[in-house]
Amino acid sequence: MLETSPVVLRLPFRGRWVAGNSPANRVPSHGTHLFGTTFAIDFVAVNERGHSGKRGWRSVLATESPEVFIGFGAPILAPASGTVVAAIDGELDHEARRSQLALIPYALSQACRVRKGVGAIAGNHVVIAMASSGPFVLMAHLRSGTVNVAVGSVVEVGETIGSCGNSGNSTQPHVHVQVTDSTLWPTARGRPIIFELQILRGPDSAPLARIFDFVLCTQKVRSIKDWTGPARSSRFTLSTTSTRTRRFAAVGTLMSPTITRPTRSRTGRVRRTTRTDPANKTGPPV
């Protein structure tokens, strides 16, 4: 019987990250169910202005070194405890491609990478079995030479397993997270994910800071007043919801979440408006 209940994970990073492809935008999140990517999420590290790296003429006309991106080399943490069942390293980190011109030859070679299998897609990656029969958590596109676990290693949640890279099917440094029911990738099925909210507390039990800075979620709400985001909720579901559901992105720095609400102009273009969560007015918006 197919298991479709969400899997609870910790976020696999520290600092400020945003989600690119995620099931909050569409399901399947990467446009395909292949390799169990139905509910997969791509996280990209950004600065306080929401930029993933400095821009120059190469950002417009050519490829870029992955070193110019904030996330390149950032520690990637185990999102769950378990046993490592796959650990691949040695794949080179590619040049990054933000330029539309540089993306054209990359897009034309996509089918070739898919035919080569999960190694060419995931690049350097680690798979953790949360139990002997699963579920299985995959962290992909790790930096070459940084995977520090091996098959059979027992890891604890929050343990560093490698660094963010740009290996495999990746156009800029990011970490790809997904959960599947097996590691037989051609037939593996994706599982929805719930990210657990963690709060750091001082000796007097007063909250100091949230460990995470970003989580993307979908929730059935009628207006922004109904939002029960990071300031008040303990978990965030990334599973599919009704097409009538409004989609929100909750972005926060420490105890200061900001809400990003997609809206449509009269021309049909999607605009994004932001406001700071009333429960955390003192924090700067992201």
Q: Kindly state whether residue 30 falls inside one of the protein's structural domains.
A: no
Domain that holds residue 171: 57-188
The last residue of a domain, from among 188, 209, 242: 188
The last residue of a domain, from among 188, 215, 242: 188
Give the CATH number of the domain where residue 109 resides: 2.70.70.10
pLDDT tens digits, the chain, 286 residues: what are they? 456 678 888 889 988 888 878 887 788 888 888 889 899 999 988 888 788 777 766 665 667 878 888 999 999 999 999 999 999 998 888 887 776 666 666 665 666 666 666 777 889 999 999 999 989 999 999 999 999 999 999 999 999 999 999 998 888 899 999 999 999 988 999 998 887 755 444 555 554 433 333 333 333 333 333 333 333 222 233 322 333 222 323 322 222 233 333 344 445 444 433 333 333 333 322 2
Whether 237 and 214 map to the same domain: the answer is yes
Distance in angstroms (rounded) separating the CA atoms of residues 95 and 65: 5
Distance in angstroms (rounded) separating the CA atoms of residues 147 and 124: 8
Q: Kindly state whether residue 213 falls inside one of the protein's structural domains.
A: yes
Let me know the angle formed at the C-alpha of 106 by 101 and 109, rounded to the nearest 5 degrees.
140
Which ranges constitute the DSSP H helices of 74-167?
100-108, 110-116, 118-122
Whether 160 and 209 map to the same domain: the answer is no
Distance in angstroms (rounded) separating the CA atoms of residues 168 and 160: 20
- Domains identified in the chain, total number: 2
Whether 66 and 157 map to the same domain: the answer is yes
Give this prediction's pTM. Answer: 0.67
Of 169, 263, 176, residue with least CA distance to 223: 263
The last residue of a domain, from among 145, 171, 188: 188
Let me know the angle formed at the C-alpha of 240 by 190 and 7, rounded to the nearest 5 degrees.
45
